[in-house]
Each structure stands twice: as structure tokens, then as C-alpha cells.
């Protein structure tokens, strides 16, 4: 990173006048104090408005003071710096609030009972009930989707890296890229039109899993492809030189070398589809009861459960929705952290 040479501000006789190091902090403190004063005087009740006023005062104050002392160019530099800081803080507030609120409101209804019971015969305005049926549904649907998309995704990546040349490979690469951008609801509509409306198979967890696997495949292909490209060519050549057939080289040498990265990619893809609501809403339909069989009848799923509890609109239902959101975030974050852990631990040594 380039911060080291850029922040080197040793005093030098060649430099013009410059503000002391503590000046940004002083200006920030001054503008916050002034903003609070203005806010109190004008009786603005929203703290957000106070914050905005403070940010504006800070930016203009910095420019004014720096322009007087250091000149226009330095002043512009300082304004850019403060704008970048403001951007960062503006973005951190909602994102931090998201995590904070989910945890704070989620722990209210979150306990062992919540994890081990379904919503069967629990009315919207009654406390109690839980996410067992939804957890089960999500695990089954995501499991089936993973079973479908990992072999196809990994084989496609192998084709692209080890065999792919010419038009077909280029087309596959392009459409895999485009496929990553297919909105989840469109994937759901496709399975709806094909599986439910034309083949007349009825709503089931499996239909949802089909849509999820469409969303998962391109992610698996991309990450596996990147990992296979990192495998040093010398390994392949050594194996081939010993007379090992190409397919055994791929299975015994290339895949084991990159297995850590592939696992990471798969886990990130699983984390991504676990949170998908739209296809599940269209295809799995949702139920309050436990349905162990993903192949027949409506199932529940965690994201869908959150949506249904939110739509129910009562206080206790909101509590359940937050608790389920906490469970979902925890699941996704654990998968992410584990995936990154594996990536770091098993990263192919590329001589860096």
C-alpha cells in the first residue's frame, strides 16, 4: 500500500507554511461544537441534521483555513481528504446500525426453544414458536442446490482452464459472467415456468433448490476457474511427463493442489444462496409446519420466514423476524469467516 511514502510529512526548509498536525482534529471539534450550537439554536430535532451541518462546516472550514495558510492546492488536498473521511463515516453509520440493530433486537426471542420448534399452531400475535422448520428447509434446499451445482460448476471450470479453446470456451466464459448477474427472482420465474407451470410438478423444496443452483453455478465456476489458474504449470507438465493421462493428472494433481481455494469458493457461494428469498418465495411457497421431504409439498426457509413474520406485522412477529435474521446472518458470517480461514490456510504457494 502506498500510504507510507504519502504520509511522510517531515518538516523541511523547502516546504511552505503548513498547518500543524493536530489542525484537522481541532477543525473537526470546532465544527461539531458549532453544529450542536446551531442545532440547539434552530431547534432541529434530528441528530442526523446536526451531523450533516457538522460535516459541511468541517469541509468548508478546512478549505477556508488551509487556503489562507497553505495556499489553494494544499487546501484542495485537505478538502479531498476530509471528503473521503466523510464518505467513510457516512457509509459506516448505516452498515454498523444494520448489524447492531439485528443483534440487539434479535437476541430478544433467540434461544434454544426458538431453534428447536416450528411455527405450527402459533398465531401471529402469540409469542413462542421458532425456526426449526425453516432451518430444516433452508439446509435441505441449500444442500440439494450445492449437490447439483458443485459438480457442474467444477467440471465447467476444468473445461475452461484445462481444455477450453476457441468459440465454445469463449461463449461459456461470457455467459457464466452474465449469469452471475441474473436477478434471483428471474431464476425463480424460470423454474416456475418450466418446472411448475409446464411440467406441473407442484411447489416443493426441490424446485427452490433448482433455482438456487442456477444462482450458485456461475459463482462456483468463476472461483474454481481462478483457483485452477493458480496451479503452477510445472506440476501438470511433471505429471504428464511421467506418462500419466491428462484426466488423472487433473484429478490427482491439479484438483488436490487447488482444493482449498475451491472449497472457499463453494462456501462463499453457499453463503450467498442461503440468503436468497425471492426464488424460495416463488417456488417453495412456505409453511408453518415441519416438512422433512424436500421433494413434495411446500417447505419453509429461513429468509422466507423472516419475510412472512415481517408481513404479519405484530410486535412478537417482528421479534421472531429479528431473531431469525440474527440466525441467518450468523450462519452466513460463519460460513464466510470459515471460507476465508481455509483460503488463508490452504492458499497455493505461488512464491510470494
Largest CA distance in the chain: 84
Question: Which part of the chain contacts other proteins (CB under 8 A), choosing from 17-25, 31-39, 126-134, 329-337?
Answer: 329-337
Using CB under 8 A as the binding rule, whether residue 150 contacts other proteins is answered as: no
How many residues can be counted in the chain?
352
Taking the C-alpha atoms of residue 76 and residue 164, their distance in angstroms, rounded to an integer, is 51
Among 30, 164, 202, 297, binds other proteins (CB under 8 A): 164
Among 38, 67, 139, 332, binds other proteins (CB under 8 A): 332
Instruction: Write the interaction track for other proteins spanning residues 174-193; mark x where CB under 8 A is met and - where it is not.
Output: xxxxxxxxxxxxxx-xx-xx
Taking the C-alpha atoms of residue 272 and residue 128, their distance in angstroms, rounded to an integer, is 29
- Assigned C-alpha cell, 73: 492546492
Reduced DSSP (H G I as helix, E B as strand, rest coil) percent helix, strand, coil of the chain, to 5: 75, 0, 25
Residue with cell 476457441: 166
Using CB under 8 A as the binding rule, whether residue 135 contacts other proteins is answered as: no
CB of 133 to other proteins, least distance (A): 17
Using CB under 8 A as the binding rule, whether residue 315 contacts other proteins is answered as: no
Using CB under 8 A as the binding rule, whether residue 328 contacts other proteins is answered as: yes
Using CB under 8 A as the binding rule, whether residue 169 contacts other proteins is answered as: yes
Task: Tell me the site size for other proteins, rule CB under 8 A.
Answer: 126
b (16+ CB within 10 A) / e for 303-332: bbbbbbbeeeeeebbbbbbbbbbbbbbebb
Taking the C-alpha atoms of residue 95 and residue 142, their distance in angstroms, rounded to an integer, is 27
Among 165, 167, 242, 345, binds other proteins (CB under 8 A): 165
Taking the C-alpha atoms of residue 212 and residue 118, their distance in angstroms, rounded to an integer, is 23
Applying the rule CB under 8 A, the residues between 213 and 232 that interact with other proteins are 214, 217-219, 221-223, 226-232
Using CB under 8 A as the binding rule, whether residue 307 contacts other proteins is answered as: yes
- Assigned C-alpha cell, 90: 457516512
Applying the rule CB under 8 A, the residues between 50 and 89 that interact with other proteins are 73-74, 76-77, 79-81, 83-88
CB nearer to other proteins: pick between 228 and 292: 228
Taking the C-alpha atoms of residue 67 and residue 203, their distance in angstroms, rounded to an integer, is 67
Applying the rule CB under 8 A, the residues between 264 and 293 that interact with other proteins are 264-265, 268, 271-272, 274-278, 281-282
DSSP code of residue 294: T
CB of 263 to other proteins, least distance (A): 11
Using CB under 8 A as the binding rule, whether residue 151 contacts other proteins is answered as: yes
CB of 177 to other proteins, least distance (A): 5
Among 237, 289, 293, 296, binds other proteins (CB under 8 A): 237
Q: Angle formed by the axes of helices 205-230 and 184-191, to 10°? A: 130
CB nearer to other proteins: pick between 20 and 234: 234
Amino acid at each position: 500500500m502506498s500510504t507510507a511514502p504519502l504520509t511522510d510529512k517531515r518538516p523541511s526548509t523547502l516546504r511552505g507554511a503548513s498547518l500543524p498536525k493536530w489542525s484537522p482534529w481541532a477543525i473537526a471539534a470546532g465544527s461539531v461544537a458549532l453544529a450542536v450550537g446551531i442545532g440547539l439554536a434552530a431547534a432541529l430535532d434530528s441528530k442526523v441534521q446536526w451531523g450533516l451541518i457538522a460535516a459541511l462546516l468541517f469541509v468548508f472550514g478546512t478549505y477556508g483555513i488551509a487556503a489562507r495558510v497553505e495556499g489553494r492546492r494544499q487546501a484542495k488536498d485537505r478538502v479531498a481528504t476530509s471528503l473521503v473521511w466523510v464518505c467513510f463515516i457516512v457509509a459506516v453509520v448505516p452498515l454498523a446500525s444494520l448489524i447492531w440493530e439485528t443483534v440487539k433486537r434479535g437476541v430478544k426471542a433467540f434461544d434454544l426453544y426458538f431453534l428447536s420448534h416450528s411455527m405450527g399452531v402459533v398465531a401471529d400475535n402469540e409469542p413462542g414458536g421458532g425456526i426449526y422448520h425453516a432451518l430444516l428447509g433452508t439446509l435441505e434446499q441449500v444442500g440439494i442446490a450445492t449437490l447439483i451445482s458443485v459438480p457442474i460448476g467444477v467440471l465447467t471450470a476444468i473445461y475452461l482452464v484445462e481444455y477450453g479453446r476457441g468459440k465454445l470456451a469463449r461463449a461459456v466464459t461470457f455467459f457464466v459472467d452474465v449469469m452471475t448477474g441474473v436477478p434471483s427472482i428471474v431464476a425463480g420465474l424460470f423454474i416456475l415456468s418450466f418446472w411448475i407451470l409446464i411440467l406441473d410438478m407442484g411447489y416443493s423444496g426441490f424446485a427452490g433448490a433448482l433455482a438456487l443452483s442456477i444462482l450458485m453455478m456461475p459463482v462456483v465456476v468463476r472461483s474454481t476457474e481462478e483457483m485452477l489458474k493458480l496451479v503452477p504449470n510445472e506440476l501438470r507438465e511433471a505429471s504428464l511427463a511421467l506418462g500419466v493421462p491428462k484426466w488423472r493428472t487433473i484429478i490427482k494433481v491439479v484438483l488436490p493442489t487447488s482444493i482449498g481455494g475451491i472449497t472457499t469458493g463453494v462456501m462463499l457461494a453457499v453463503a450467498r444462496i442461503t440468503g436468497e428469498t425471492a426464488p424460495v418465495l416463488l417456488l417453495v411457497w412456505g409453511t408453518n409446519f415441519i416438512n422433512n421431504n424436500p421433494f413434495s409439498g411446500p417447505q419453509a426457509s429461513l429468509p422466507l420466514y423472516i419475510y412472512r413474520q415481517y408481513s404479519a406485522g405484530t410486535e412478537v412477529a417482528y421479534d421472531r423476524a429479528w431473531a431469525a435474521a440474527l440466525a441467518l446472518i450468523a450462519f452466513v458470517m460463519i460460513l464466510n469467516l470459515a471460507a476465508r480461514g481455509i483460503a488463508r490456510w490452504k492458499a497455493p504457494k505461488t512464491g510470494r
